[in-house]
Structure 1
Amino acid sequence: MEIDAAATLSNDQLRLERARQVLRTEAKALLAVSEKIGGSFLKAADALLACPGNVIVTGMGKSGHVAQKIAATLCSTGTVAFFLHPAEAIHGDLGRVTQNDTVLALSDSGETDEVKQILTPLRESGAVLIGITGRSGSTLARMSDITLCYGPVSEACSLGLAPTTSSTVMMAVGDALSIVLMSDRAFGDEDFGRFHPGGSLGRQLRSVGEMMRDGEQLRVAPADRTIREVFVETCRPGRRTGAVMLTDPGGKLVGLCTDSDLVRQIEQRNSLDRPISEIMTKQPTMLRREQRVRDAIAILKDRHFSEIPVVDDEGRPIGMIDITDVMDLLPTPMAA
């Protein structure tokens, strides 16, 4: 008697296997589509790059949600784009589209009623129409100036009905266009930072000068003083850095001494009347104010530092990046 393999699996194992099958199905489709893109993809990218107006992305249902995501990705990577809802378009929003625009229309079947209703008006507007669809013989494919056809795909839904693989493929094609355009435009760190000022990503792309502690929060002292003199003179209430920056007679940074260094001297009952130059970290790692915060984070992570001094072009201390100010940007294990 043959035993059904599925019957021997626990319910949790079955659920996990279903989940894995979804991922395998979608991954297989993405790999297949990656081998299909060619001349039409380049034509579409060229049309988007040359667009003198705006990129309009449209789609209905799940394709509409994907279209919104593609529009957002295009915007954040250097291509001005807007989402146009097909149902709203046929009630007046077609007025947003001009002959200078390029339209990306999404429909897996290429026969979505709401999308079909706006195809003729879009062509009459003079806008370039790029269709993204799974069917090369569909209405959308026939009426588009450029068609990106990814071909038939197997939906990962157990019924083969819910848009899963098809929506994943459409989103991936949109990502591919966005990133190619990003490269074509030489869209770099400065541009990305300008478009992403908020959240942890935005903070990492800010300059060190924007986030460093400065002014009265800094503790700076001559390197020829004793340990006791330095820590007495730089002691102050309120928010301050966890290290003293030590300078030569010309004001250039030559060393760093942390509160932890002082604690170790006290625990070891060492004399505090010795020159602080004997215990300071000589020629410490330094940052410039124009560097990115992410550069500072990489140093804090890789070298297990708690503070990094910031100097000007002459090597004089002007600020300090303190680990407590960027704790939420650090990798979880280190932040913990």
Structure 2
Amino acid sequence: MLNGLTEKQPLSDIDYAKKVLLLESEAIKNQIHRIDHHFQKAVDVIFTCSGRVAVTGVGKAGIIGQKISATLASTGTPSYWIHSSEARHGDLGKIVASDIVLALSNSGETEVVLLLPFLKQMGTKIISVTGNNKSSLALHSDVVLDIGNVEEACPLGIAPSSSTTAMLAIGDAIALTIFKKRNLSKEEYAFYHPGGELGRKLLPVEVVMRKGRENPVADEDMPLLDVLGIMTETKGNPGAVSIVDKNNRLTGFFTDGDLRRLLREGTSFLCKTIKEVMTPFPKVINNRCLVEEAYKILRENKIDQIPVVNDFHTPVGIFDVQDLLEVRF
């Protein structure tokens, strides 16, 4: 039997694939008892780092390192990827003494080791993730995260598979533990994710809302017909208007839907002031509210628009669910 995958009776492709996943899942599960004071030290060193985390490695471990670096950077820990071989041909200049090098090598004897003398000379701290705590890499690291002798899921026990899966899991554990320690707000997290669906949800409403000339505002004592004129003439046809008092504080909201409902009862209301027919004390959102939260309010209240106010309750925009379709990154 080779690594638990070769049996007397050949496995079907489906059974073999399941066996691979089982071995890789066990590789991750086996890391749980390895999370100890060495891991805590690694987290503390990175958390207090005044520079950036340079992640390095070669081969499959290097590819895993690129993902770990990306995860660190996207969760608030400045990080960059550097190829161990390229570092020996000039890229070493990217690393400064205040940086921390996170080196990945299962054997601990790859080309990463050739960088150690130069890193030591710079005074850069080294954190290694390796399967050999007696290796050259481990012996010259400030912190060693030993993943142990991981059984590869390859039928020959050669191709990096379970070991790189374990490295990836440890990398996630490091990055997300530090992310938790940073206690970033959703707004701060959104700063690192301005694009795509995630960015759309985490944008502040003030980025998406209709504002300026596209945000109609009317005085509460204004005749309804005049207010309808403002709604019609406003750029973008928002189909709603915010109503304010003499102190420019929001007191009401009026929409096309309100107009249609009133028309079912006749037209006598057209002679009234907007204050008499508006929706008083409407639901509002603050301009710093996230789009995700604003959309939830619209959905729960079954409305398409909502006025956006600042901390002084002054209307600064209108959030319309349709505007989300126009957002481009």
Normalising by the residue count of structure 1, what TM-score does the alignment of the two structures yield? 0.79
CA contact (8 A) 1:133 1:141 kept: yes
User: Which 5+ residue runs of structure 2 have no aligned equivalent?
Assistant: 1-8
C-alpha separation in 2, matches of 1:222 and 1:139: 76
C-alpha separation in 2, matches of 1:139 and 1:308: 62
Secondary structure of the residue aligned to 1:234 is helix
Q: What one-letter code is carried by the residue in structure 2 that aligns with 1:272?
A: T
Partner of 2:5: none
CA shift digits 1:37-94 (9 cap, x unpaired): 1011111122223334332211001111111222222223333222221111222333
Offset, 1:23:
4.0
Partner of 1:243: 240
Query: Which residue, 40, 45, 48 being the options, matches 2:46?
Result: 48
Query: Which residue, 25, 28, 32 being the options, matches 1:27?
Result: 25
C-alpha separation in 2, matches of 1:220 and 1:233: 8
1:194 pairs with 2:191? yes
User: Which 5+ residue runs of structure 1 have no aligned equivalent?
Assistant: 8-13, 330-336
1:321 pairs with 2:319? yes
Partner of 2:109: 111
C-alpha separation in 1, matches of 2:17 and 2:239: 49
Partner of 1:334: none
Offset, 1:207:
2.7
Partner of 2:210: 213
Secondary structure of the residue aligned to 1:290 is coil
- Per the alignment, do residues 100 and 247 of structure 1 end up closer, same or farther by CA in structure 2, a change over 3 Å counting? closer
- Per the alignment, do residues 272 and 63 of structure 1 end up closer, same or farther by CA in structure 2, a change over 3 Å counting? farther
Offset, 1:139:
2.8
- Per the alignment, do residues 318 and 95 of structure 1 end up closer, same or farther by CA in structure 2, a change over 3 Å counting? closer
Q: What one-letter code is carried by the residue in structure 1 that aligns with 2:174?
A: L
Q: What one-letter code is carried by the residue in structure 2 that aligns with 1:176?
A: A
Secondary structure of the residue aligned to 1:25 is helix
CA shift digits 1:126-152 (9 cap, x unpaired): 222211012223332223221101112
Paired-residue identity, %:
40
Partner of 1:145: 142
- Per the alignment, do residues 284 and 161 of structure 1 end up closer, same or farther by CA in structure 2, a change over 3 Å counting? farther
C-alpha separation in 2, matches of 1:86 and 1:224: 72
C-alpha separation in 1, matches of 2:21 and 2:301: 38
Secondary structure of the residue aligned to 1:319 is strand
Query: Which residue, 210, 223, 231 being the options, matches 1:234?
Result: 231
CA contact (8 A) 1:60 1:107 kept: yes
1:76-225 paired onto structure 2 within 5 Å: 76-112=74-110, 114-222=111-219
Offset, 1:289:
1.8
Pick which of 100-109 and 222-231 moved more.
Answer: 222-231
Normalising by the residue count of structure 2, what TM-score does the alignment of the two structures yield? 0.81
C-alpha separation in 2, matches of 1:128 and 1:192: 27
C-alpha separation in 1, matches of 2:56 and 2:145: 15
Secondary structure of the residue aligned to 1:163 is coil
The alignment of Structure 1 onto Structure 2 pairs a total of residues equal to 316
- Per the alignment, do residues 64 and 233 of structure 1 end up closer, same or farther by CA in structure 2, a change over 3 Å counting? closer
C-alpha separation in 2, matches of 1:148 and 1:328: 47
